[in-house]
Structure 1
């Protein structure tokens, strides 16, 4: 079986120790590849290559950097189906969702390319005769990127594209469960002709690759997508060298349905926002609050819609939900459901691992609906990250807002209502970084994906996300 090597300084190279990691398909437990198991020594080599490439790359004009990104996008478009298949094989999401992930990556890269010339500075009048004060925008240097497993291709693109568009170079660590699509992106980067060392990919686990990457003194900016506990450890490690840190972490999105909502649209959005990617999305609908006046109608329609979801082979076009990414993740979700039941919730649908036939070889969990849920239960406060929907009843909009904000996370939230006054209030009173009103989930490349509280620091995408990859430099200009 082929061993996929590290991508360092424009070349494929084995890990210094020669060790490898086996990658398995969560749908059937088949081994689909082996990747090099990197170490601190490999991180050192990658950072050195990125540092060496930085001066020349940062001096390229913005348009020339953009041309490299456009060339990369053309190759991704050419290999669209191959890349989607690879995402499905290593991560387990249905193929149509994997295709959407590739499309999202293309959009992220396109936005970065289009906006390289929009990283603008300022000119301010000076305090002396003929003086001007220039505020320039300059790249940080070497960026360290750490990607999560739930969007293995798009998250690598989300780190790489704005970093190099802004003139930085980068070392990326894909997640050890899903490194193959990140390595495939590296292959296209090489084919697109990007200079050696601008992008480097080091595979391996957190302690052996992630920790030394964060701790490396020559890495000036860390951008990470992952769990909140991991993000806190990264922030602590980065403090030693006062690195800039941008963390996209967990979420516990409230989904608010008021009595004047379009219930058909709300039900469809609630299901899509909960069960897409088997619930393994940080913006997922993690707790659904419904006005008591429409609760019964909504609950019945919701139950019917969830019961109709098809779980199975993610390569089957009729499949709605594929497997969880790993046995450990499946066990974690099931333990949360059992805990909710022990605390008094009713398992209306699902609540168990799927077994029998092809299910025995994969990590499949039944789509689950919990009712009788109260605000004090653990399932309302802890991130589920799986196909489990807790349903709660509220008296009015004020109670919905209060319960939604009773949360240590602050990434995404949803509201379905026709009342403009309520819509205006959520902008002031709902403490989440992005709010979807009368629509389902899905951030856009031109938006700004960011959270409050334990959902992280900084953010990704759009002009605000791109500007995170440059830093101001003030010049007092006198003749």
Structure 2
């Protein structure tokens, strides 16, 4: 019997992957996985326990000892094979992503492609594990700075990109010589399990890569606090990041946390308005606004605000919302509670005085009677302290604020506890060069929409996280340094 049947709407029982075996775990309980477009249960996964978490870390620890002795280039070849297999199965993985997460199929195909690309780039880094030799103050001595894997790395992923976020962490961790335990998010666990089913076929040693399912407060806590977990890499909410930070403090765990953002989208009076509008659409509505680098608040120069908003509102109102398998512009939100959260933020903003330029909100009639649907909402806000300006919405809602000039926009943009990403649209070279000095964000897009690249570096400042992912800088974070004082006198 096939473990994974990637037919839309098919129901199957999935198991966890621990120590090279598929297992139902220590509990007889399961978690239902639903299709957010129609609320049909498409799978059940085990409700993992603390005991399962211990088994997964123990398995990774045992496998990692031998894996670390394998030459890095050989580790990279195996990781590349996994990427190649994922690339071959792009359509299968994309349909699975859409079924459990809800993003339109064309966007899911893009995520499946990125899932493979993260592994390809990680494999390329196998020859880039470098150290240094320093001159010593002592005679007949050299100082060698060496790099070693941490041991066991735990990956905690979010539900918005369940496949790509998994390999974004898995690839560099394995190439660096670590063992890996993935806690697949309970809402979207199937993509991670599918990747594990492919990993079985490429020669990864049993126990090196483990996928556990269950709820973060139980399984995640146990994984983080396990004495043999050396490093935790997590993508999720600010709230969850703080909990991981506290849970890992006693054991002095190494943490890499990407905790969401509240990206300002600045459009100045000299910007190409049509280009800025198109970028604002992409940066707000892709994946139903469920991206940490999304356009979350727009600061529009007063001289162009009317023109920009007229075009942006018209395009937002024209978006096609529907079955993500049939090519809409926007699919459903991932869950009912997520729809409720977004609606509550909009209602609070309106109560504070926000003007509704486009009234969207939850959809629950006709074609939308089943599923978690929400239409775009555009607000004009005067107060930068508004709940919709200061809190991450993570949905198709965007507030707009008029600003007097560049300095005014910068001050408003920096007035946040987040620091992940930002956007600036201007044709003025002086302003472009000022931007990276003035904006307090780890990732800035100038005259373009969002979309980081695998060889760059993705990191947040302030309460958007610690550490970062991607590229050489991200890969280096999966290795720790050792100083060797080599004296031959």
Match of residue 195, structure 2, among 171, 179, 185: 185
Taking the TM superposition and a 5 Å limit, the aligned residue runs for 1:131-210 are 131-210=141-220
What aligned pairs does 1:381-420 form with structure 2 within 5 A after superposition? 381-420=390-429
348-357 vs 102-111, which moves further: 348-357
- The equivalent residue for 1:2 is 12
Q: Secondary structure of 2:234's match?
A: strand
Whether 1:341 aligns to 2:334 is no
Correspondence for 1:313? 323
- Corresponding residue to 1:375 among 384, 400, 403: 384
SS in 1 for 2:91: helix
Whole-angstrom CA distance in 2 between matches of 1:376 and 1:219? 40
- 2:118 aligns with 108
* Residues 226-263 of structure 1: CA deviation (Å, up to 9, x unaligned): 00011001001101110111100020000000111111
C-alpha distance in structure 1 between counterparts of 2:67 and 2:366, whole Å = 53
Contact 2:12–2:42 (CA under 8 A) maintained in structure 1: no
Q: CA deviation at 1:374?
A: 2.5
1:378 Cα shift? 1.0
Q: Measure, in 2, the Cα distance between the counterparts of 1:396 and 1:119.
A: 46
Alignment equivalent of 1:121, drawn from 113, 128, 131: 131
Does the 8 A contact of 2:61 with 2:151 survive in 1? yes
Whole-angstrom CA distance in 2 between matches of 1:458 and 1:48: 26
Matched-pair contact (CA < 8 Å) for 1:87–1:98? yes
Q: 2:70 is matched with which residue: 56, 60, 71?
A: 60
Partners of 1:373 and 1:116 in 2: CA distance: 51
Q: After the TM superposition, which residues 163-312 of structure 1 pair with which residues of structure 2 at under 5 Å, given as runs?
A: 163-312=173-322
Tell me how far apart the structure 2 counterparts of residues 89 and 190 of structure 1 sit (CA, whole Å).
23
Partners of 2:456 and 2:426 in 1: CA distance? 22
Bigger mean CA offset, 372-381 vs 303-312: 372-381
CA shift for structure 1 position 130: 2.2
Post-superposition offset of 1:10: 1.2
Which of the residues 460, 474, 480 maps onto 1:471?
A: 480
Task: Tell me, in whole angstroms, the C-alpha distance in 2 between the residues paired with 1:427 and 1:372.
Answer: 26
Distance 1:367 1:179 in 2: 27
CA RMSD of aligned residues (A): 0.9
User: Aligned partners of 1:19 and 1:372: how far apart in 2?
Assistant: 47
Question: What displacement does 1:307 show?
Answer: 1.2
1:127 positional shift = 2.2
> Once the 2 structures are TM-superposed, how far is the Cα of residue 27 of structure 1 from its aligned partner?
0.3
Give the 4+ runs in structure 1 shifted more than 4 A: none
Aligned to 1:11: 21
Paired residues of 1:121 and 1:136 also in contact (CA < 8 A): yes
1:328 maps to which residue? Answer: 337
How far does residue 350 in structure 1 lie from its aligned partner after superposition?
2.8
Work out whether residues 28 and 358 of structure 1, in 8 Å CA contact, stay in contact via their aligned partners in 2: no
Q: Could you tell me which residue of structure 2 aligns to residue 28 of structure 1?
A: 38
Contiguous gaps of at least 5 residues in structure 1: none
Mapped partners of 1:15, 1:453: distance in 2: 38
| Cα distance in 2, alignment partners of residues 214 and 258 from structure 1 | 45
Can you give the 5+ residue segments of structure 2 that lack an aligned partner in the other structure?
Answer: 1-10
Q: How many Å separate the matches in 1 of 2:161 and 2:137?
A: 50
For 2:204, what is the secondary structure of its paired residue? Answer: coil
TM-score, normalisation: structure 1: 0.99
Q: Distance in 1 between matches of 2:234 and 2:30?
A: 23
* C-alpha displacement of 1:323: 0.5
Q: 2:82 pairs with 72, 88, 91, which one?
A: 72
Report the count of equivalent residues.
478
SS in 2 for 1:272: helix
How far does residue 410 in structure 1 lie from its aligned partner after superposition?
A: 0.2
User: How far apart, CA to CA, are the structure 2 residues paired with 1:208 and 1:18?
Assistant: 16
Deviation, 1:37, is 1.2
Question: Cα offset for 1:373?
Answer: 4.1
The Cα shift of 1:154 comes to 0.5
How far off is 1:357 after superposition? 2.1
1:336-389 residue CA offsets vs partner (Å, 9 max, x unmatched): 111111111122213321122221101000111112442121111000000001
Structure 2 distance, partners of 1:55, 1:111, is: 24
Structure 1 residues 405-453: Cα deviation after superposition (integer angstroms, max 9, x where no partner): 0000000000011111111111111000000001001111111110111
Counterpart contact for 1:373–1:390, Cα < 8 Å: no
User: What's the secondary structure of 1:222's corresponding residue?
Assistant: strand
Alignment partner, residue 462 of structure 1: 471
Q: TM-score, normalised by structure 2?
A: 0.97
Equivalent residue number for residue 443 of structure 1: 452
Cα shift readout 1:289-339 (whole Å, capped 9, x = no counterpart): 11111111111111111111111110112x011111000000000001111
Q: CA deviation at 1:196?
A: 0.8
SS of 1:127's partner is coil
SS at match of 1:390: strand
